[in-house]
Structure 1
């Protein structure tokens, strides 16, 4: 078997293992199902072992299949790193980076950062996918996923906290003039609340003061899974919202929004970077990570 065919077979094995499907692997690799099946057959013949147990409904990796996958991804990453380094040596840093970013943060913060990065590294292209839904790093073939959350638990990925953002309770001066005074979280029951909710069901706001936690079930006049929409609604003087400071900071500085309940704490929203733990870092991604950290520290 030629070296090139070995590399292709390892790429096929990686996709079949991760997706659990010959058809899915063929679709992502833009190959025929027959070619995918033949590539796996070649590997099994050369290694003299069964890598997958096939049935009409199910595809299960054997112990040797899992072992081959674990070694195979390391070999593929080493090959990719070698080609990256050789390319970098000849043509400087280049290539594509596929990144998944949260929608509101992407439009408010990342759009500026990505433009600066492309100006500095014109030979590196960025494929940006913006969504507030959970992103599967493996299935989407992402080099890096950025995620906003209070905390994360995902042992299969390398996770790094990049920055913390405060959640701010605020409203416009015009809204506050027309509605009752807000002295404590309990007073929110008398106000029109604009609530971030991923699935439309969670309307709970959590505050704390002197180690005491206060849970408020907001009277939601508007629910949305997009904080930018809530910000626009606030600026139209229709209610109070709890939103990240990266969205409302400029409006607070300009006096268009007033921060409320400042003596109470809310949960911090953290920005995390996620990438596969078994994947080596090519030069272009090293540059991107470093640039991202520098920009977020400003």
Structure 2
């Protein structure tokens, strides 16, 4: 027995005053209507309707049950109706997890523009360079950067690429020398982003060949912006997204090295639980970011 169907059939029989009227309203056969009511009575163990060839009436139990069922079905219709705006237009609370460094450097301006474009959306943006469990922690989506996105049941849409650069302060290179090959980094004090999956191993490619270098240093940190501060102070050399240091490079505060080598590119993805029944607020946010960042692919 499909109990929800049986409840709706029972209610329609009562309100239509006859099995035949309920069958026409629900576009079911009279036999199907009778079967649903009979199975519902068997499930409850009570008679809900007194019926003869000429008339039908509710029993005492049927009256009480009808009143309760009607409230339940009305509440269900109200709940279904409340979902309509969410399923048709971008609105409601959107919970997003995003990396702090990338958000502060690049996303924060886009987020403001998004909020201005979608006044019916409220945004709860949680900034954390560590990864969260989207489903467990109740997020609608997360922004993640990775050079190798792990296998996952999550849907991932690429929205930008973070190209890296080896750089340090001019004073550091003046004292320690400028690396000429990736292997030269083994003798340098390398500031490492500890949340990276390859913090201690930096990878470079050129002319179809790849070199992986084991790097060491006295400073590991979970923030790329903290790495930038260390580089500005002349403390070590690092492999860091160019986006974070491009102004420092342009101003001469930092200088690059190994420019004829290509470091691994970090792809940035918007990830969310499922494409099916994707809420308009999620789709709107992902589409907006992808458009805003299209020049950085």
TM-score, length-scaled by structure 2: 0.67
Cα distance change, pair 82–252 in 1 and its aligned pair in 2 (3 A) = same
Which runs of 5 or more structure 2 residues have no equivalent in the other structure? 6-39, 44-78
SS in 2 for 1:139: helix
1:217-251 C-alpha deviation (Å, 9 max, x unpaired): 21312111211111100001111110112211222
**Relative to structure 1, is the Cα distance of residues 239 and 120 closer, same or farther in structure 2, using a 3 angstrom cutoff?**
same
1: CA distance between counterparts of 2:274 and 2:91? 23
Structure 1's 146 and 193: CA in aligned 2 closer, same or farther, altered over 3 A? same
- Contact map agreement 2:134 2:141 (CA 8 A) in 1: yes
Gap change, CA 1:78 and 1:138, over 3 Å in 2 = farther
Question: 1:253-272 residue pairs with structure 2 within 5 A?
Answer: 253-272=250-269
Write the deviation string for residues 244-289 of structure 1: whole angstroms up to 9, x where unpaired. 1221122222222112101111111000111112542223223222
Tell me, yes or no, if structure 1 residue 174 matches structure 2 residue 171. Answer: yes
Aligned to 2:85: 83
Give 2:230's match in structure 1, choosing from 228, 233, 244: 233
C-alpha distance in structure 1 between counterparts of 2:258 and 2:156, whole Å = 32
* Deviation string, structure 1 residues 67-120 (Cα, Å, up to 9, x no partner): xxxxxxxxxx9877523257x5xxxx4311111111211221111111121222
Give the SS at the match of 2:219: strand
Kept after mapping to 2: 8 A contact 1:173/1:256: yes
Alignment partner, residue 249 of structure 1: 246
Residues 1:238 and 1:80: Cα distance change in structure 2 (over 3 Å): farther
Does the CA contact (< 8 Å) of 1:197 and 1:224 recur in 2? Answer: yes
Matched, 1:97 2:94: yes
Distance of 1:156 and 1:200 partners within structure 2: 20
The CA distance in 2 between the partners of 1:280 and 1:96, in whole Å, is 16
SS at structure 2 position matched to 1:119: helix
* Aligned twin of 2:125: 128
Runs of 4+ more than 6 Å apart: 77-80
Q: 2:180 aligns with which of 173, 179, 183?
A: 183
Q: CA RMSD in A?
A: 2.8
* Cα shift at 1:2: 8.6
**Residues of 1 paired with 2:152 and 2:144: CA distance?**
15
- From the superposition, tell whether residues 223 and 155 of structure 1 become closer, same or farther in structure 2 (CA, over 3 Å): closer
Report if aligned partners of 2:178, 2:257 keep a CA contact under 8 Å in 1.
no
| Contact 1:203-1:220 within 8 A present in 2 as well | no
8 Å CA contact retained: 1:200, 1:223: no
Q: Is the CA contact 2:170–2:254 (under 8 Å) kept in the aligned structure 1? A: yes
1:135-150 map, 5 Å: 135-150=132-147
With 154-163 and 195-204 compared, the bigger mean Cα shift is at 195-204
CA contact (8 A) 1:180 1:190 kept: no
Distance in 2 separating the partners of 1:78 and 1:282: 15
In the other structure, the counterpart of 2:214 is 217
Whether the aligned pair in 1 keeps the contact of 2:99 and 2:129 (CA below 8 Å) is yes
Q: Is the 8 A contact 1:171 1:259 kept in 2?
A: yes
Query: Between Structure 1 and Structure 2, whose CA radius of gyration is higher?
Result: 2
1:78–1:280 CA contact under 8 A, matched in 2: no
Contact 1:81/1:282 (CA < 8 Å) preserved in 2? no
**Counterpart residue number, 2:155:** 158
Aligned 8 A contact 1:81 1:280 in 2: no
